[in-house]
Amino acid sequence: MRWSGLFVLLFLVYHVLDLTIGTLHPSSVAPFQAGQPYANVVGDFRIGFVALIYALAVGLLGLHLNHGIWSFFQTLGLTRSRGGRRLRAAATAVAVALTAGNVLIPLAVLAGVVR
Ligand code: HEM
């Protein structure tokens, strides 16, 4: 949890420098364009290495959330009740859905579905 949290924080710094400010945006395929997030995302993920970084980062975020959502329920004292197992499943379902949605973005660009 600690390591995945630290990695997500580092990813966030890289991510803002890449897609919001543009200083770390790879300009070899398409230069960063202020106010054009769609073009910047597509330019990013046409580079396999960048797509891989994002896929790994959102995967780790998924693991972090899976544990974090469960811990949230635990803090509220809900996990000892009879519905505890269902809450465990709900935490995992939310984490899997978010991860799948996030991973689809770089994959869709790499596959040429989003251009
Ligand atoms: C494949 C996944 C992702 C894509 C394609 C994506 C895309 C973007 C884009 C295009 C921007 C710039 C928006 C703008 O300049 O108007 C942005 C900003 C941002 N993203 Fe992401 N993002 C992704 C994942 C994430 C994740 C996992 C987090 C949080 C853990 C995150 C947090 C942020 C934050 C805090 C900003 C800065 C706020 C802003 O510029 O509006 N993003 N993202």
What pLDDT, in 10s, does the model give residues 40-61?
999 999 999 999 999 999 999 9
d(CA 38, CA 25): 13
Contacts 24+ apart (CB under 8 A), 37-42: 41/105, 41/109, 42/109, 42/114, 42/115
With a cut of 70, list the residues of the chain below it in pLDDT: none
d(CA 28, CA 33): 13
| pTM of the full structure | 0.90
d(CA 96, CA 12): 20
d(CA 78, CA 38): 41
Does ligand 1 lie within 6 Å of residue 43's CB atom? no
Q: Whose CA is nearest to atom 22 of ligand 1?
A: 15
d(CA 36, CA 11): 21
15 CA from centroid of ligand 1 (Å): 7
Cα dihedral 101/54/52/40 (nearest 10): 100
Nearest ligand 1 atom, CA 8? 30
Does ligand 1 lie within 6 Å of residue 65's CB atom? no
Q: Whose CA is nearest to atom 1 of ligand 1?
A: 102
pLDDT at 19: 97
Return the amino acid letter for 49. F
